[in-house]
Amino acid sequence: MPILEVQSLSKSYRQAGGETTAAIGNISCRVEPGEFVSFVGPSGCGKTTLLMTIAGLLAPSAGRVMVNGREVSGPPADLVLLFQEYNKSLFAWRTVLGNVRFGLEARGDHSQNAAGKARSLIDLVGLSGFENHFPWELSGGMQQRVAIARALAYEPKVLLMDEPFGSLDALTRLELEDALLGLWTKLKTTIVFITHDIEEAIYLSDRIWVLSRRPSEIVEDIPIDFSRPRNQLSTRAEARFMEMRNKIYRQISNPAAK
Amino acid sequence: MNGRYNFNWPGWASFVFLLLLWELGARVAPGYRLYLPPISSVIGALGQLIISGAVGRHLLATLERFLAGYLIAAAIGVTLGILLGYFQPLHNLLGILIELLRPMPSVAIIPVAILTLGIGDSMIVAVTVYAGVWSILINTIDGVRHIESTLVDTGRTFGLSRSRILWQIILPGASPYIVTGLRIALSIALILVTTAEMIAGGKGMGFYILDEERSMNSANMYAGIVIVAALGYTLNRLFLALEGRAMKWRHGMMAREMA
Amino acid sequence: MRAQKISGLLFLVGLMLAWESASRADLMNPLIVPHLSRILGIFWDMLWSGAIPMQILLSMKRAAMGYLLAAVVFIPLGIVMGLSQGTYRALEVIVEMLRPVPPPVVIPVALLFFGLEDEMKVFVIFFSCAWPILLNTIDGVRNIDRVLLNTAKTFCLSRSQTIWRIILPAASPQIITGLRVSLPIMLILVVISEMVGSTDGIGYFILDAQRRFKVAQMYAGMFALAILGYALNQVFNLLHRRLLSWHWGMMKRDLE
């Protein structure tokens, strides 16, 4: 059974001036457990709105979202959304360890070995030694890792990530892409990823959905079958990689194509 | 307070309700009339005071002293603040003295002022100036010192002289801080004037309110408080209005010069 | 850095020496400006005899009660008003009506109700500290980033968990600001209320000394008040550092 199912979802909202904006036109898709899927699309096409709606933070205007067979009417317990503005979502008053422990606490784990679990997660994201630092003491990339560790501490079945690496420099981005894949392989969480970076999407995912402009719909459903584990050098060097990239790029930049 | 689209019905309703409660309470328990006279008598007293002008001279006295104290404080505070903020050696010299005098509440200067100046207008204005200068001074120094070096460098790269940089970059750049200091000084000045009037006596709203309390005319006392609150509110609004216009001018000037 | 401090120190010492020599040379009216040495001498004596500490203690007792009462009442109220738009609007007019009242002007009302007792001062300080504490708390709660609230939601926190674990910590810097701003207000008002209506306390002490022309004592009292103000500031900073060490660190970084 698909772990996440979006059925004919559409979402519009009222602007301050009173006009209605249709962000999502009509989206239907299915995600199997353990898959890594990505949405790509032109900027402003409503990707964030889509994730917020799937995460239960916004209500659909029509259609519905099913997580684990249950309809979403509020933030589902098995799902966590990682926000684009990760620095604003981290808790400034808690250390790295405290932030990651929060994920466990939210799960209901206030046990003694919670600290131990938190530490191993911090190690997993590569931040060993920074447990007692505060978020403001860390770089952007490190803050993002804390946010990821915190989300993983919650042990969600589905992890939604809203352009998590968008504001990082290119090298950090590559590093985190691999770190994420490592975590995903190990923990077997389902990941729904949004990015404007087509190559990143191809590199990471099992499947890509290309979105149209607003009101967005899925214009293309592309399975990615490069072998895993992926490699920054060899995978990206394959001829098909560039073909796929060009195809998607054309798809996005040509609004007429549907 | 009153949004353009949204008149605060619940807010005014609860306020009126409170007043009604007061009125009822005062009528039901006449023994407490002294402390809490019925709101109707307060309103009555207020009306009478305004019409008869009995409180006029007190209000005028307070206003005069306030304006004198505030404006002098502003002049001294801003000037001194700019000097201290701009000339580091001067700031070094006076820095420690300032840090030592700062923690002392400015009202403690009142007895000294009475000793030197007696209990007249000059004493009241003097203590108001003293208190007002502090907040204006500190904030002005802050503002001048925290000008982004990039801004100053911009001026220099355009070949501006030191004084032009001061007038056209540093002052406008520091103006938000200066305005903050001036705004805080507004309430401080009113506090000092009313306090000094209570201690010195003679005339002024501070004196009037205390005097009415001593004569057990509580309705008049409350009426006086309402008048002073209205004064404070009006001064605040005036300040906001002036600030709106003044800041726009400065920004306009900056934009024009840089074009 | 040190060079800067040295010139300031020298200036201060120079000023003090000038004061002392000028007063000894009879250049200043001893009734208004006594010898600096005399002032310091009296301060020292009264410090150790307990006369000054006693007055300070009396004043601080009243001040602390008023301040803490205001915190205990207006921080929770501010949180509620910050979270509930309905409550905010219901109370907004009342707050806006009471706010422009200059605090000293409340003293005669307090005198009416409480006479010259401690309660009078406690009430005045309670009223005066209310607004900075209340308004800053409301602001702190209202200005919490939406992303933080959404984070709480995506982790499925309950309403009360959200308030305790996210809203309170996130608003605490602004709440502390309100408490910090109220501290000098507390000090000013305790002095004023003691000058206008009291028979003891440091404010009364200074005014009384002036009335009896014990001028050196008056200055000694002012000096004690300055030290008190400084000490309160330091204590507050210490508490800030301890309780909100995370924020203290952030603030220091921003100042650089």
- Tens digit of pLDDT for each residue in B34-64? 778 888 888 888 888 888 877 888 999 999 9
Lowest mean pLDDT, pick from B32-41, B227-236, C60-69: B32-41
A244: which 2 tokens?
Answer: 């796929």
What 3-state class would DSSP assign to B95?
A: helix
Asked if pLDDT for residue B163 goes beyond 90, the answer is no
**Per-residue pLDDT, C205:** 94
- Residue C169 pLDDT level (bands cut at 50, 70, 90): very high
In the numeric block, the tokens 């950090």 are attached to A172
Antiparallel, parallel or unpaired: β A207-211 and A158-162: unpaired
Considering CB atoms only, which of C148, C170, C253 is closest to A136? Answer: C253
Percent of chain C whose predicted confidence (pLDDT) is above 90 = 71
Asked if pLDDT for residue C183 goes beyond 70, the answer is yes
Average pLDDT over residues C13-34: 86
Q: Does C103 touch chain B (CB under 8 A)?
A: yes
Contact B107, B196 (CB under 8 A): no
| C253 vs A contacts (CB less than 8 Å) | 136
| Burial of B118 (C-beta count, 10 Å sphere; 0-12/13-18/19+) | exposed
Give first-to-last CA distance, chain B, whole Å: 38
Cis peptide before A215 (omega within 30 of 0): yes
Q: Within chain C, how many helices (H) and strands (E) appear?
A: 12, 0
Considering CB atoms only, which of C151, C169, C247 is closest to A89? Answer: C151
Residue with more model confidence, B149 or C175: C175
Among residues C143, C128, C133, which one has the least CA distance to residue C175?
C133
Contact A49, A15 (CB under 8 A): no
Asked if pLDDT for residue C235 goes beyond 80, the answer is yes
Q: Does A192 touch chain C (CB under 8 A)?
A: no
**Per-residue pLDDT, B71:** 96
**Per-residue pLDDT, B2:** 45
Task: Bin C68: left if φ > 0, else alpha if -120 < ψ < 50, else beta.
Answer: alpha
**Per-residue pLDDT, B152:** 79
| Residue ranges, chain A, pLDDT below 50 | 257-258
B54: which 2 tokens?
Answer: 């009995």
B15: which 2 tokens?
Answer: 């306020």
**Per-residue pLDDT, A258:** 45
Mind listing the pLDDT tens digit for each residue in B66-101? Answer: 999 999 999 999 999 999 988 888 888 898 899 889
In the numeric block, the tokens 């008040």 are attached to C225
Cis peptide before C102 (omega within 30 of 0): no
Query: Mean pLDDT, chain A, as a whole number?
Result: 89
Among residues C35, C63, C82, which one has the least CA distance to residue C220?
C35
- Residue B256 pLDDT level (bands cut at 50, 70, 90): low
Helix, strand, coil % over all residues of chain A, rounded to 5: 35, 25, 40
Give residue B110's Cα distance to chain centre.
18
**Per-residue pLDDT, B106:** 93
**Per-residue pLDDT, C147:** 92
For residue A193, the surrounding DSSP H or E stretch is: strand A190-194
Asked if pLDDT for residue B254 goes beyond 60, the answer is no
Contact A56, A74 (CB under 8 A): yes
- Residue B258 pLDDT level (bands cut at 50, 70, 90): very low
Please count the other Cβ atoms lying within 10 Å of the Cβ belonging to residue A38. 25
Please count the other Cβ atoms lying within 10 Å of the Cβ belonging to residue C112. 19
Q: Is C147 in Cβ contact with A83 (below 8 Å)?
A: yes
**Per-residue pLDDT, B3:** 46
Helix H segments across chain B? 9-28, 39-52, 56-86, 88-101, 110-117, 121-145, 149-157, 162-165, 171-200, 205-214, 218-258
Percent of chain B whose predicted confidence (pLDDT) is above 90 = 47
Mind listing the pLDDT tens digit for each residue in C73-97? Answer: 999 999 999 999 999 999 999 999 9
Q: B–A contact (≥3 CB pairs within 8 Å)?
A: no
Asked if pLDDT for residue C1 goes beyond 70, the answer is no
